[in-house]
């Protein structure tokens, strides 16, 4: 539960990490009320003055709270899978202080009233900050554009049809044209729907052996190619979500080289797991997009490291047990991701593929900058949204112990390194590791 805290708190003996400025140094940070008042290597060199609460970080990492740009929170409409409260508890346990929720709720977030309901409920709960995406098309039906201008004024960060692609090229062209006029961002689920229809896992030898219908890797690249051509026509800002294939990444690389306003994210399953995780019909590994080949997994990890992938998001897609404990063909897609986001992402650092700051950049200031959020950086006067973590402490993922309602983690049983010790939102400690 959120805790009240003293007006001023000094976090001392910390390894300060700020990817936005490149800071990586031992030092201290002072919060005053809801904001960061001061920080640096020499702060409190002569001791902390009286009247300030002191938190000794014991040499652990202190970084901006994580910014998770792709989360399904299921409220309103599917509270048996997740709620804003349980999602918020899971988020802060994972060091996430800001998250952006998809509009595929019931009702869909395609009008101002629903958008404001979600934002107001999250503020009242007072855990991680929640910012809604709004639907790009009314009812996510892919036919008629939502009232994007009004929704943006009401606080929608960007526009997406959530877990499904905007199928119609003409509708997508109109959405991009409208977005370009008003400086808005379109977020796409890049998967050609006709090619993916009926598919259950990655197309290939494994799917054939298991007798499961496959989703070809080409489905991703084909839709990205189409969308990039449409971006060229209208000049809009475009973001591809959870990119999972080498071919898709090549399309994005080429678009960036041409100077187009194109960004993308991926999620930990796509650089930490491959299709072998499906094993003997393991439904917790049934994700959308599906887990890919080992070649694709390595390509995604490389693209995160070289900056082709701008951000890492949890792609949190909670399901209830009744939706997952079914034969593979009938089980729902999706995996819980909030509480494993940091630890699995840190594998890129522990495997010496990336520096700690570069991993954190993909989790903090990079997604914040894509979405125009004032978050993800240590800055005087900025909101005191912080995470303190032990990057080397080992633990095993036990999904049944998650704070979130849903336990459908593709990482269940996996040994990982990196434990969140404390999460602070607006100067309040909202999570303390037991």
Q: List active site positions.
A: 315
CB 200 within 8 A of CB 286: yes
Helix (H) or strand (E) holding 304: helix 294-306
- Crossing angle for the helix pair 218-234 and 246-257, nearest 10 degrees? 20
Residue 271 token pair? 């650089």
Distance CA 317, CA 355 (A): 28
Please state whether the peptide bond connecting residue 47 to the residue before it is cis, i.e. omega within 30 degrees of 0. no
The secondary structure of 31-70 as a DSSP string is EETTEEEEEETTTTTT-PPTT-EEEE-TT-EEEEPEEEEE
Asked whether 41 and 16 are in contact (CB, 8 A), the reply is yes
Residue 324: in which H helix or E strand, if any? helix 321-324
Residue located via tokens 């006709």 = 194
Q: Let me know: does 310 contact 366? Beta carbons within 8 Å.
A: yes
**DSSP notation for 334-396:** ----GGGHHHHHTHHHHTTSS-HHHHHHHHTHHHHHHHT-S-SS--TTSB--EEEEEEEEEEE
| Residue closest to 189 by CA, chosen among 218, 220, 217 | 220
Q: Virtual CA dihedral for 170, 176, 182, 183, nearest 10 degrees? A: 180
How many whole angstroms separate alpha carbon 429 and alpha carbon 164? Answer: 36
Output 22-28 pairs: Cβ under 8 A, ≥24 positions apart: 22/357, 23/378, 24/356, 24/357, 26/59
Alpha carbon distance 61, 421 (integer Å): 10
Tell me the backbone φ, ψ of residue 32, rounded to 5 degrees.
Answer: -130, 105
Distance CA 113, CA 121 (A): 12
Which CB contacts under 8 angstroms, 24+ apart, belong to 345-351?
Answer: 345/268, 345/312, 346/391, 346/416, 346/417, 346/418, 347/272, 347/416, 347/417, 348/271, 348/301, 348/304, 348/305, 349/391, 350/417
């Amino acid at each position: 539960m959120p805790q009240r805290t003293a007006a001023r708190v000094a976090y001392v003996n910390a390894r300060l990490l700020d990817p936005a400025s490149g800071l990586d140094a031992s030092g201290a940070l002072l919060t005053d009320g809801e904001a960061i008042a001061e920080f640096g290597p020499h702060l409190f060199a002569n001791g902390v003055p009286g009247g300030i609460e002191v938190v000794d970080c014991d040499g652990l990492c202190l970084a901006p709270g994580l910014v998770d740009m792709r989360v399904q929170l299921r409220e309103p409409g599917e509270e048996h899978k997740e709620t804003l409260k349980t999602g918020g508890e899971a988020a802060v346990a994972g060091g996430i202080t800001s998250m952006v929720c998809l509009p595929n709720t019931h009702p869909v977030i395609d009008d101002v009233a629903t958008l404001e309901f979600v934002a107001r409920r999250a503020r009242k709960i007072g855990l991680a900050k929640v910012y809604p995406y709004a639907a790009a098309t009314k009812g996510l039906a892919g036919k008629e554009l939502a009232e994007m201008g009004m929704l943006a004024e009401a606080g929608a960060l960007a526009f997406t049809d959530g877990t499904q692609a905007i199928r119609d090229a003409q509708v997508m062209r109109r959405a991009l044209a409208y977005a370009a006029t008003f400086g808005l961002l379109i977020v796409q689920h890049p998967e050609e729907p006709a090619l993916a229809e009926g598919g259950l896992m990655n197309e290939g030898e494994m799917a054939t052996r298991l007798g499961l219908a496959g989703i070809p890797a080409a489905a991703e690249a084909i839709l990205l190619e189409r969308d990039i051509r449409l971006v060229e026509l209208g000049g809009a800002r475009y973001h591809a979500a959870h990119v999972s294939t080498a071919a898709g990444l090549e399309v994005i690389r080429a678009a960036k080289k041409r100077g187009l306003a194109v960004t993308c994210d991926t999620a930990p399953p796509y650089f930490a797991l491959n299709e072998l995780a499906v094993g003997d019909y393991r439904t917790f590994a049934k994700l959308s997009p599906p887990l890919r080949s080992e070649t694709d997994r390595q390509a995604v990890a490389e693209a995160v490291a070289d900056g082709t992938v701008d951000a890492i998001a949890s792609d949190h897609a909670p399901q209830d047990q009744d939706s997952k404990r079914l034969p593979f063909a009938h089980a729902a897609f999706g995996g819980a991701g909030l509480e494993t986001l940091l630890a699995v992402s840190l594998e890129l650092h522990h495997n010496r593929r990336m520096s700690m700051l570069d991993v954190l950049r993909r989790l903090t200031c990079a997604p914040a900058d894509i979405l125009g959020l004032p978050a993800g950086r240590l800055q005087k006067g900025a909101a005191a949204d912080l995470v303190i973590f032990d990057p080397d402490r080992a633990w095993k993922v036990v999904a049944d112990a998650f704070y979130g309602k849903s336990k459908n983690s593709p990482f269940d049983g996996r040994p990982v390194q990196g434990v969140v010790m404390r999460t602070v939102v607006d100067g309040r400690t909202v999570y303390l590791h037991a």
